[in-house]
Amino acid sequence: MQVQLKVNGKAVSLDVAPNTLLVQALRGNLQLTGTHVGCDTAQCGACTVVMNGRSVKSCNILAAQAGGAEITTIEGLAQPDGTLHPMQAAFKECHGLQCGFCTPGMVMSAVDLCQRHPHASEAEIREQLEGNLCRCTGYQNIVKAVQQGAAAMKA
């Protein structure tokens, strides 16, 4: 089947099987491998992307269900000249990553969180990121990065 999407600002047309997950289409068809597959059960958040302005777990959505949607992946956050999005820069500066596997999904969730709740408290940040698992960092620096990224996004 044919699915039309706008991915990272570009219109794309994909030929996919009806049971193709959005994460599979992004990684396999479009070679956007920054979106990671962690658990295949929507538990870990590594596959998080922004769809129509809201963060979603792309392993839990069929590509056909996303037809007509605007999708932003981690590859679509930085500027064309390579300048990092404020949230990406904050994760780098605050050491909000270690192995990096969860980082793309964590950053995408954080961007959505800060757009919807620009003044989120530490407790709210922790609550909103519960669907994104990190096995390395202990979350202290992730929370600090989200706070710094939120401030930079407001500026």
Could you give all domains of the chain from N- to C-terminal order, each with its CATH number?
2-74 (3.10.20.30), 86-154 (1.10.150.120)
Q: What is the pTM of this model?
A: 0.94
Report whether pLDDT(11) > 90. yes
Provide φ and ψ at 70, rounded to 5°: -100, 120
Tell me the per-residue pLDDT of 116-143, one tens digit each, with 9 for 90 and over: 999 999 999 999 999 999 988 889 999 9
- Residues of the chain with pLDDT > 90, as a percent, come to 89
- The residue ranges of DSSP E strands in the chain, in sequence order, are 2-7, 10-15, 48-51, 54-57, 70-72
Going by the DSSP 8-state scheme, the letter that residue 38 receives in this structure is: S
DSSP 65-89: GGTT-EEE-GGGTS-TTSPPPHHHH
